[in-house]
């Protein structure tokens, strides 16, 4: 018999978990993530779902029923470095549990229902968020993706066969359930919300070049120190984002030669920027870059800024969002924006009608071991997803 939600959740809890921090290391195509993938396929087999996979790491399991365009749900199983348990896996486990709930109701879908697992959603290994869904929709070509490398220099093309994907060719609608990454639902006192839009966001690599030298013998006025330029840039980005009411974060830094007693020769730092509109994102990044370049000129260093990925604003189908949110026990679910990127945004941008459900996060903390959702809210999420699938697959 298939496992219920709580048993499935408990089965996943130890996989890839750090004994030190309590966070998760489920990077794509590593042993923990592959263990989760094998678990998913076993759960699908227990439910008699037909599993399809492409050569890019994506998987879809189909409940073959009815006819016409498929109704797809699901999410991802990979995590950020030292991440939380809920971001991604909650949507996959909830999708399997929702299929069970629909069957227990005796519901006969008028169209096929699929459960998906997309690869490398977080971009934690190969540096590009939503990589699996970008490849599956054709938003990114394999010829380019195959050259992406991880921090150890391993290329994506050496990890998966690659090629093209037909997994989404029969998909007519996508619904993703996700833990909320913020406090909107907490502040509203609601367990479930529906997405209205995803803020535009991007990842930008800043490279500050200077001159390596001795930390003790080099006078402060004689230094060409790229760490100073980076530090000014990080502080400036924080100020610019605060003044504009937007988001800017330097969360990853690499230093060469990375010695305690050496002035560095090179600092690489990655900016994550998110704004309420495409124009505001461009303005924020331009302002941060201009301020950084001005500081580099004064420090005698050089700046090279390279956009690694930029995702434009995504507005989810308002009619579909309204249909999903309306007429539930206790009233309509709130329709809210999100500042986090999701596979749902990639599918929506590819022209697939898409909706998102959020489950309340009591602290709003995400991408952290402290990420959490209460079990009663998770079970409400399963019911909400089942209700949504039933509404869309009648």
Using the Cα atoms of residue 174, residue 176, residue 181 and residue 185 in order, give the sign of their dihedral: positive
Question: Among candidates 186, 187, 196, 236, which has minimal Cα distance to 339?
Answer: 196
Average of pLDDT values for 41-70?
97
Question: Among candidates 366, 364, 384, which has minimal Cα distance to 376?
Answer: 384
Lowest mean pLDDT, pick from 56-65, 212-221, 295-304, 307-316: 307-316
Q: What percent of the chain has pLDDT over 90?
A: 98
pLDDT one-digit tens code per residue, 111-170: 999 999 999 999 999 999 999 999 999 999 999 999 999 999 999 999 999 999 999 999
Q: How far apart are the first and last CA of the chain?
A: 26
Whether pLDDT at 386 is above 80: yes
CATH number of 201-311: 3.30.70.360
- pLDDT band at 330, cuts 50/70/90? confident
- Residue 372 CA to residue 328 CA, distance in Å, equals 25
| Long-range contacts formed by 136-142: CB under 8 A, 24+ apart | 136/54, 136/56, 136/58, 136/165, 136/167, 136/168, 137/168, 137/346, 137/347, 137/349, 137/350, 137/352, 138/164, 138/350, 139/346, 139/349, 139/350, 142/56
pLDDT value at position 322? 96
pLDDT one-digit tens code per residue, 290-306: 999 999 999 999 999 99
- Residue 126 CA to residue 160 CA, distance in Å, equals 12
- Residue 174 CA to residue 97 CA, distance in Å, equals 17
The CATH classification of domain 5-199+313-392, taken from the options 3.40.630.10, 3.30.1370.100, 3.40.50.720, 3.10.20.90: 3.40.630.10
Q: Output the average pLDDT for the chain.
A: 96
DSSP string, 26-82: --TTSHHHHHHHHHHHHHHHHTTPEEEE-TTS-EEEEE--SSSSEEEEEEE----TT
Using the Cα atoms of residue 149, residue 150, residue 155 and residue 157 in order, give the sign of their dihedral: negative
pTM attached to this predicted model:
0.87
Domain map (residue ranges) of the chain? 5-199+313-392, 201-311
């Amino acid at each position: 018999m298939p496992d219920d939600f709580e048993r499935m959740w408990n089965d996943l809890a130890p996989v890839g978990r750090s004994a030190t921090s309590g966070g998760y290391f489920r990077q794509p195509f590593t042993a923990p993530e592959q263990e989760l993938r094998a678990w998913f396929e076993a759960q699908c087999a227990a439910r008699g779902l037909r599993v399809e996979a492409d050569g890019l790491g994506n998987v879809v399991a189909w409940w073959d029923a009815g006819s016409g365009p498929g109704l797809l749900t699901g999410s991802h199983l990979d995590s950020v470095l030292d991440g939380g348990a809920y971001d991604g896996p909650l949507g996959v486990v909830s999708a399997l549990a929702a299929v069970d709930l629909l069957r227990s109701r005796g519901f006969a879908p008028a169209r096929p229902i699929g459960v998906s697992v997309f690869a490398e959603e977080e971009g934690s290994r190969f540096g590009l968020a939503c990589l699996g869904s970008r490849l599956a929709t054709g938003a990114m070509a394999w010829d380019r993706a195959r050259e992406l490398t991880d921090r150890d220099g391993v290329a994506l093309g050496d990890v998966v066969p690659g090629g093209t994907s037909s997994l989404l060719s029969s998909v007519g609608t996508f619904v993703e359930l996700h833990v909320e990454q913020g406090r909107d639902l907490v502040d509203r006192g609601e367990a479930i919300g529906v997405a209205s839009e995803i803020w535009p966001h991007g990842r930008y690599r800043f490279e500050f070049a200077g001159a390596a030298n001795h930390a003790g013998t080099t006078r402060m006025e004689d230094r060409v120190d790229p760490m100073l330029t980076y530090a000014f840039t990080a502080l400036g980005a924080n100020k610019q984002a605060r003044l504009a009411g937007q988001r800017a974060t330097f969360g990853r830094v690499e230093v060469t030669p990375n010695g305690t007693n050496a002035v560095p020769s090179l600092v690489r730092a990655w900016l994550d920027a998110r704004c309420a509109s495409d124009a505001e994102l461009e303005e924020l990044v331009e302002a941060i870059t201009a301020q950084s370049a001005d500081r580099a000129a004064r420090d005698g260093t050089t700046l090279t800024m390279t956009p690694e990925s930029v995702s434009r604003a995504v507005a989810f189908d308002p009619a579909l969002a309204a249909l999903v949110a309306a007429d539930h026990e206790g009233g309509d679910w709130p329709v809210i924006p999100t500042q986090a990127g999701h596979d749902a945004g990639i599918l929506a941008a590819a022209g697939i009608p898409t909706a998102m459900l959020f489950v309340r996060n009591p602290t709003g903390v995400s991408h952290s071991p402290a990420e959490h959702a209460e079990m009663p809210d998770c079970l409400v999420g399963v019911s909400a997803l089942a209700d949504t699938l039933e509404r869309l697959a009648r």
